[in-house]
Structure 1
Amino acid sequence: MQKRQSNKDAFFVSIKESQLNSKELEEAFTLFTEASHQLSNAYADLQQDVATLTGQLAVANGNLKKQYEEKAVLSRRLTLLLDRLPAGVVEVAESGVAVRCNQRAHDLLSQSIIGLNWMAFFTQFFSEVAESGIWRFQNQGVQAYFSIEQVRIEEESVSVVLLHDVTASVEMRETLQRNSRLVAMGEMAAGLAHQLRTPLAAALLYVGHLQREQLQDSDRIRFSAKAIDRLQRLEALVQNMLLFVRGKPHEVTAVDISDVALDAISEVRSVFEPAGLSIVLNNQASGCFVLANFKELSGAIGNLLENACQASMSGQEVICSIEQSDSAVEIVVQDHGTGIPEAVLSRLFEPFFTTRKGGTGLGLAIVRNLISSYGGEISVTSTPNLGSVFKICLPRVADTTKVLAQS
């Protein structure tokens, strides 16, 4: 009886345990189903993300390909443009070696410089000319002139050198300068011939009179004096021409400008007095020295005083003023005469240019050359019917200075 009861209890326990395992299995299956569903959803989302990324990547690849093609087209155009530029272009690496150059640079330099040290090449074949910014290039019998610009590109650690061929411009400028000199020489020769012809013809005429057999002694003396006067004028003209061409002073020393001015005034006083004119010296530079030749500077001041005399009318006065500063001294000659027309002022110092009958046109040209040789300047201002002002400016020196210059 007890055994039957025991078997019955065991049977019910087994059934209960079976019921528990089934429930756990069902719960586990339910969890598995949910997890499987979540994984399916996640996989579907992942597939969608992959599809989206694949589409975006395709678009990005398409854009990159398009940009690459555009840059390739731009690169070809820039390369073509670079080769067609009228300027030479050289790309220099940070090491100083030329890594690229366009065809124009190759043609201008008569060789390829890729792989060469640019500065070494530049030092060997280029030399600077007098005109700032222009370089002369000589290589393999070729000579040319360049203006050169160099630009540093910091981001790429390279420099770009631009070579502009200015040979035609330089040669044209040299030709113009040469032609200008030839024109000036021609004008000078024509002016000199004109100045020599008149007194020479007069001298020949008077000498011809001297050959007449039936000539009174008084006439012979008169013709001789006139012939000598014309020949002396020719000699003075030639001397002035030599002074103008030489353009250099004789012995140069430190001279007191006051003494020079007094000497010039004493030399021209004989011209002023018969004309009824007076000279006033306004000296505010006592003991002021300049580096010059005494007689030549005195003659230059005298030339200005004589011109002032010829432009003035009787009863007027000519003022010679001397003023000084820390570094310079000014000699000013002022008259109140007829003045100089504005159209004439610009040509006043040209050789052989004169508005005065019988004038040689060399006086002021010689004065300007002389003052320039002393390191000074001469200028003029004038108002018609009110007078003219000539101003000489010379650098001051110590009275102990003495310099000898070759004549």
Structure 2
Amino acid sequence: MNCKLSKIFFVAGNIRTKVWICVLIALVGYFIATLSSFYSNSRQAERLATLQTIHFPLARLSDETVNTFKNQIAKYENAFLTGETDQAIEGNHLSATILQLLEQMKKVSDQNTIFSPEAALIDELQKQYNEFYQLAAEVYLRTQSIETSLELQQKVQHLGNMQTRLLNDFLDLSQHLAHSVEQHIQDERRHAQTNTLFLGLLFVLVLISATLISRCFANRQLIEPLTHIQEMVVRFTQTREILRPPQGNQDDEINNLAASFWSMTEELKQTMVSKSYVDNIIKHMSGCLMVLSSDRTLIKINNNAATLLGFSEEELLGCQIDEFISNDTITVFKNFGLNVLARGEEVNNLEICLMTRQRTKIPALFSGSVMRSPDREIEAIICVVNDITQRKKTEEMLRKVAVERALAKTASLAAIGELTSSIAHEMRNPLSSIKMNIQTIQQNLGSKDALFSELAEITCQQSLRLETMLNDLLSYGKPLQLNLSRSSFPELMQKTLVAIAQEKKNKGVILEINNSLGDDLPLVVDVELFIRAFTNLILNAIQWSPKEGTVQISARIAQSQDDQENQVVILVRDNGPGINPEKIGRLFQPFFTTREGGTGLGLANVRKIIEYHGGMVTGNNSPDGGAVFTIFLPLLPQQPAMRA
């Protein structure tokens, strides 16, 4: 099909020039997409830097200010109630901390003009707090004279009003900054989604444009001239007569090829090609040529084939071809190579490994076709082998580049995880204090007040639930360090059964285990982390199953979607009510749960552990009822030797 657009790209030059033009078109498109991606990522990095250096520090400092001020108020009130000046002195000492925190907040807010309102508010709070502190230092050190001094009583009343107003202002500022952090995170999420969509559309547009332009150019400058040469070949084989091609540019190899082919046909009409001439062509052709007899014996090879295998021509002739195929690909070569040729069919680009004299493996592409006699009997098998060692090295290099990019992304996510873990860790200390105080109140109340005892019990339960959520959050946010070792599915299953024994007994659930992997298949995993994830899935299945229900666990080997490697597939299926179809897509999102009392981090941690192992986990409804969770783990053909 002719392309009018290609007329714009008319180039009178050699093939290399034309190919470089096609590459240049693709590079221009790639450059445009890369610049757009770089600009988008730079903008997002600037916004994240603002979040890290201003929003988070301001919110943290504000919370510390509120807590310190509350602590100071408590000490002043204790001094007022007990008349002890030691409490008032300790409260005065906290003033330096509060002023220092306010000064730090002022410095952080001054880094960006968008925080000018907050900076002004902090200035005002500093002034109010200085006034409060000076009055408090005067009053609470004279607590014994308050009852006899009307002036001190008036100051106490004024001090109480200032204290309430300051506490409210500090709390309002803390809530405002926390809301600002949350809003900034939401904005970044929307920005990231928008950028991803924009870059995806831009990539598709650039890809389509570059493809169309390259196709038009290649069609005009390469495909059409080559098609013309092909027509010349077909016409010559049919009629032995072809027209002389028009005179073209001397640098154009395709035009020169057409002219050379015409000259060759003219010479072929007048001369006969001898057998020695044909043999000479075969020996010096660029590819590796092997001619086999019907019993797969080498009867003809060229110089390149002998050089590649490291033998002389005399040593190779009369040998079976499968003697030079490596053991790990001999089965593939026989089933998809020799057997296919024996049926009279062609073999194209079958990937095998040759074995040289030095017992070195050489990756190669094998192609073959059958040459028949006039009575349709197989006379010989023509085989061409191309060394693809360089291509394999290139593929390995690209794979390493992909791994390095994945590691860089993991490092970035680990930094965010460490920040999340530090925030959760800071929350555990006050939560532990709350839980201990509630337990103490509950013990002191006893049966004196049933209502308050019940409220204390509810508060204690909610504290335990919040502590569980924080532990899950710490586990989810902390970067994982895999301690890989060899294990097996039966070993992992045995340790998991110990962990779920009590829950299984309480629910009366029956476990059906179907192991199609075998007992000796090694699985290279972090045993502790994998058992944690596996236990979470099975406990989830038990909790959703009815009384005396059944949970099915099966393991098998399957091929990945790209057919490049095998993978282990582990399924955990229950016969419960199943999953709401509208919520399937959110199963592994943090803090999303459909179970009463759940933290919403269990399945998120499961996905994190499995993905750190290079696999993935999915959840869906089973056609037979209930829910089914599937773990996919890569199983490489040759796993590295690990410690036992």
Structure with the higher strand share, 1 or 2? 1
TM-score, scaled relative to structure 1: 0.49
Higher gyration radius (CA)? 1
Higher relative contact order (CA 8 A, sep 6+): 1
Structure with the higher helix share, 1 or 2? 2
